[in-house]
């Protein structure tokens, strides 16, 4: 959640910043109005309580002094104030509920470095990388030449090699599910092992639960705004995680950490579950969009001063994997209108898929400032004893379905086999997937 003190002190600035995120000015005005009214009600309630305490002492003093009429009058005033306190409590509870409902769906303030824009069309390409040319700027990039045999969609190659079985996945679970078989399953496992071995030199490996409480989903911003995208187990009020970001963020919920511990870095492999409610007919073939998929996630707690460097560190981790796999990719700086609710700034990594002639998002790296920490109440104590909210940073490194799609297309050979990058050899026990 945004810091309401900033809204109270500079509502014009907050309204302008949130306007770049397509938040209407009247929504910001309503949030400020509810907050102001709530604070006034609480102030009046507290004043009435203080007056009641004062009157209680006065009643006793008057009775001891034999001033019975005055004591009764003071007691009647106290009763009247008691009724007023009850009214104010009811009003404050209603205002708190209304304010918090709006506060929880109000997005984070964008970082000053984030490009201003309305939607994904205004995202800024930062740089490209290819195996032949390495890093290069937007003006210098040329897409590598891909042969016709590399432009076969991954779902065809996967079916020909017997490593992707969408027909049986659909029979078992329905549309937008996948099944990896034989070398395909081993490839998925190999990628996960490679990623964890790469990250866990500096990130602590965590294997979290994949069913979480409502407040755990709320801490990251996935609830209440994205309830329609979540798989819910209503009987137990639990949710299947859409990303390991959700349980990792709540590791420190309601805790005060020591500044000397920061940054804390975590890495987790989990399945992820998303209803993709608005994705009907949009990039749903093969591995492009699934209800369930595997992903390795990185997350860090840090101080505000550490935030930028940790943000770039997570981005580097994701890029190193793509470079090791030899996949052409680009880095996008998301504009304010395309940022996720909790993010202040986000870099997306997209690999090029010659089989679909598209750029496919495989990682999203974000810095959330203290937005999630306020929701989860994650704080740290400084060396001087002050207590502040941590910053959270997270990124996928990597989400596997689209990575595998690109691998099957980019590394396809004229005979239909697929030759994997050398970094996978120790895990895959070889580098070739051929038709059995």
| Residue-range domain boundaries for the chain | 4-105, 120-433
What is the Cα–Cα distance from 387 to 259, expressed in whole angstroms?
9
pLDDT at 227: 94
What is the Cα–Cα distance from 114 to 109, expressed in whole angstroms?
10
pLDDT at 148: 98
Mean pLDDT by groups of 10 residues along the chain of 436 residues: 98 98 98 98 95 90 88 90 95 98 98 97 98 93 97 98 98 97 98 98 97 98 95 96 98 98 98 84 87 98 98 98 98 98 98 98 98 98 97 98 98 98 97 93
Q: Is 292 exposed, middle or buried (0-12, 13-18, 19+ CB in 10 A)?
A: middle
- Length of the chain, in residues: 436
Q: Which residue has the tokens 């898929």?
A: 353
CATH class of 120-433: alpha beta
Model's pTM, two decimal places?
A: 0.94
pLDDT at 312: 98
- Residue 170's CB is within 10 A of a number of other CB atoms, namely 14
Q: CATH assignment of 4-105?
A: 1.10.287.40
Burial 229-259 (b: 16+ CB within 10 A, else e): bbeeeeeeebbbbbbbbbbbbbbbeeeebeb
Cβ atoms of 349 and 319 closer than 8 Å: yes
Q: In Å, how far from its chain's centre is CA 272?
A: 13
């Amino acid at each position: 959640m945004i810091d309401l003190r900033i809204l109270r002190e500079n509502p014009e600035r907050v309204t302008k910043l949130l306007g770049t995120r397509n938040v209407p000015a009247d929504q910001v005005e309503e949030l400020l109005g509810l907050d102001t009214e709530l604070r006034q009600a609480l102030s009046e309630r507290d004043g009435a309580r203080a007056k009641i305490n004062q009157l209680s002492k006065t009643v006793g003093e008057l009775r001891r002094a034999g001033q019975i009429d005055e004591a009764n009058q003071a007691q009647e005033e106290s009763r009247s104030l008691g009724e007023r306190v009850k009214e104010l409590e009811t009003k404050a509870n209603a205002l708190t509920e209304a304010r918090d409902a709006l506060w929880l769906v109000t997005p984070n303030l964008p970082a000053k470095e984030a490009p201003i824009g309305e939607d994904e069309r205004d995202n800024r390409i930062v740089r490209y990388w290819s195996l032949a040319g390495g890093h290069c700027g937007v003006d210098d990039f040329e897409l590598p030449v891909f042969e016709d045999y590399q432009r076969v969609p991954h779902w065809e190659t996967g079916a020909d090699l017997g490593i992707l079985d969408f027909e049986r996945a659909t029979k078992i679970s329905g549309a937008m599910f996948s099944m990896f078989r034989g070398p395909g399953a081993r490839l998925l496992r190999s990628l996960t092992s490679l990623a964890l071995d790469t990250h866990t030199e500096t990130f602590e490996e965590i294997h979290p639960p994949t069913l979480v409480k409502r407040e755990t989903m709320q801490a990251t911003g996935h609830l209440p705004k994205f309830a329609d995208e979540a798989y819910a187990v209503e009987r137990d009020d639990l949710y299947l995680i859409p990303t390991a970001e959700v349980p990792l963020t709540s590791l420190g919920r309601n805790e005060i950490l020591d500044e000397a511990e920061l940054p804390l870095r975590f890495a987790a492999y989990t399945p992820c579950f998303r209803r993709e409610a608005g994705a009907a007919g949009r990039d749903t073939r093969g591995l492009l969009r699934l209800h369930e998929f595997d992903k390795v996630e990185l997350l860090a707690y840090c101080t505000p001063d550490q935030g930028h460097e940790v943000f770039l560190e997570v981005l580097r981790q994701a890029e190193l994997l793509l470079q090791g796999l030899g996949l052409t990719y680009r880095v996008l700086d998301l504009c304010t209108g395309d940022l996720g609710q909790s993010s202040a700034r986000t870099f997306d990594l997209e690999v090029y898929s010659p089989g679909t002639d598209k750029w496919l998002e495989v990682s999203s790296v974000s810095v959330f400032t203290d937005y999630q920490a306020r929701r989860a109440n994650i704080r740290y104590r400084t060396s001087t004893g002050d207590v502040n909210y941590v910053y959270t940073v997270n990124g996928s490194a990597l989400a596997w379905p689209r990575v595998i799609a690109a691998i099957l297309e980019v590394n396809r050979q004229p005979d239909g086999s697929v030759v994997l990058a050398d970094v996978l050899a120790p895990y895959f026990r070889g580098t070739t997937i051929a038709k059995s």
